[in-house]
Amino acid sequence: MVRYLAGAFQVVLLVVILSDIAISEERTDGYLKLPTEVSRFFRTPEQSSDGGDDSIGTRWAVLIAGSKGYDNYRHQADVCHAYQILKRGGLKDENIVVFMYDDIAYNESNPRPGVIINSPHGSDVYAGVPKDYTGDEVNAKNFLAAILGNKSAITGGSGKVVDSGPNDHIFIYYTDHGAPGVIGMPSKPYLYADELNDALRKKHASGTYKSMVFYLEACEAGSMFDGLLPDGLNIYALTASNTTEGSWCYYCPGQDAGPPPEYSVCLGDFFSIAWLEDSDVHNLRSETLNQQYHNVKNRISYASHATQYGDLKRGVEGLFLYLGSNPENDNYTFVDDNVVRPSSKAVNQRDADLVHFWEKFRKAPEGSSKKEEAQKQILEAMSHRVHIDSSINLIGKLLFGIEKGHKILTAVRSAGHPLVDDWACLRSLVRTFETHCGSLSQYGMKHTRTLANICNAGITEEQMAEAASQACVSIPSNPWSSHDGGFSA
């Protein structure tokens, strides 16, 4: 009788286990599977050692910080942190492509030479990060070529690209300044939404991936996909903000959870910190894309709205497919107590440079050259902002009249509609404005919606040139409005 009961118990246990495996593929509620993640019992030692099984294919990742300069410290810190998560997750360096200008770790302003941190008490995230593309190699052309696996289109760098196959999974993470329909690059021109989505469609047409996840940190990040990224490409995109709002910096001077006192910069970006720290504390074998989305959305909700695009049905998939999983987290369960709680403050991305300059000014000794330099930087930045804003407003009045100008320039299209009808027109008007009025810069990027509206209103390049030449009699010589870096488009 005892043997019969024991045998029956084993049968019931096997049925429960097999049922759990069958149901887990269809779950959308995010509840826990068996604590030990039963599927691991059926892997071979070889499969367990590389963090996956043959059905998963190869995991690929592209990480890119689209800025340069010490005041943009946070972007490269975000990328380095992302690399450490992927590395702990079992991805190999040969499958991780890293773009970062690499001017932060050994910058003279860095209080810890050779070290980059992404949180006040964080460890060094710079150690071991591959330097595939640095300096001027970090550009839109190389970024898109790397995604497409087009080695012949790459200039400089390691030559590493996403040489993926039809069963592979791709994770792309971008962090930098953005604006309606555009994201920045340290080497101009910037990357426009139509170019990015064209590349994604080409990647899909090539049949060289099974699924893709794209995390994008930037102001107005949603405008890079809204009305442009169709269903059916097997691409799930998550953005730091919707189409009309900014994204935010975190661990900044003056915040409750600010950086160590020797730092004068923000250490991370809010959306990025949210998903990175969520990945740090969870078992990615059980956490899904949807679960991370809700955690991130809730954490940053008072600042911006994390937004999903593309094939949202992929949200039920596990993060493990894309990020791998840190073995040290295998026994962690998915509970809200593992979610890092928000602070009460964040800094708008477009104001991070002013925060940095002010901290430099505040800390510098009275009468010192550092005090004078910081004061000059603040005044130049503010002067540039006034110049860009007033020039755009005057152009609107010249083109449409005093009463109609403001309404046309500030119009916002409804959800599901791309920013502009003619992307070539937008790029031509950006170049025309910058020819007569100087570079838009990281701050002035926000006016791409204005320029898109001018295109949508039927204004020609010639009309724009005439209005810009009247609005801008001269181009200020400060670094934010020079042409040294080339055109944004």
Residues known to be catalytic? 177, 219
- Name which of 325, 317, 321 is nearest 291 in CA terms: 317
Q: Which residues contact 443 (CB under 8 A, 6 or more apart)?
A: 350, 353, 381, 384, 385, 388, 480
Task: Report yes or no: 433 and 426 within 8 Å, Cβ to Cβ.
Answer: no
**DSSP-assigned letter for residue 232:** T
Cα–Cα distance, 220 to 229 (Å, whole number): 15
C-alpha closest to that of 296 among 238, 223, 249, 232: 238
Q: How far apart are CA 252 and CA 72, in angstroms?
A: 12
- Give the Cα separation of 5 and 3 in Å (integer): 6
E strand intervals along 1-85: 59-65
Residue 327: CB atoms within 10 A of its CB come to 14
Contact of 453 with 408, CB cutoff 8 Å: yes
Return all residues near 143 (Cβ < 8 A) that are at least 6 apart. Answer: 62, 64, 99, 185, 191
Classified as helix, coil or strand, 181 is coil
| Angle at CA of residue 67, ends 371 and 147, nearest 5° | 170
β-bridge pairing 178-179 and 182-183: antiparallel
